[in-house]
């Protein structure tokens, strides 16, 4: 779920919360690794720059709470396109 602050500029900040699921690798590994499936909460914040009312680019960061595996980073940063219809 996300909350977008409404404003009259091209810059659209937002904040959100959700769930994060990671499945343990399905390869036949040594049981000593102890990989497990995880579901945790996450919070995110970001900013979208709108070229038009429907098309823009966005940059956001997510922080995952709870236990996690070494291959699953706590903080993730992403960039992408935003399209509204």
Sign of CA dihedral 24, 30, 31, 32: negative
- The whole-angstrom separation of Cα 61 and Cα 14 is 11
pLDDT at res. 19: 93
Can you list the residues of the chain whose pLDDT is less than 50?
A: none
The tokens for 6 are: 């409404």
Contact 34, 21 (CB under 8 A): no
Q: Where are the alpha helices (DSSP H) in the chain?
A: none
Q: What is the pTM of this model?
A: 0.73
Q: Where are any strands of DSSP class E within the chain? A: 2-4, 11-22, 38-50, 55-64, 75-83
Contact 48, 80 (CB under 8 A): no
Domain spans in the chain, listed from the N-terminal domain onward = 2-83
């Amino acid at each position: 779920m996300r909350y977008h602050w409404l404003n009259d500029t091209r810059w659209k900040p937002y904040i959100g919360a959700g769930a994060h699921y990671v499945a343990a690798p399905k390869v036949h590994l040594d049981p000593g690794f102890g990989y497990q499936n995880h579901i945790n909460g996450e919070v995110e914040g970001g900013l979208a720059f709108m070229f038009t009312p429907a098309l823009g680019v966005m940059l956001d960061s997510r922080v995952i709470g709870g236990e996690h595996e070494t291959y699953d980073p706590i903080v993730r940063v992403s960039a992408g396109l935003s399209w509204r219809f």
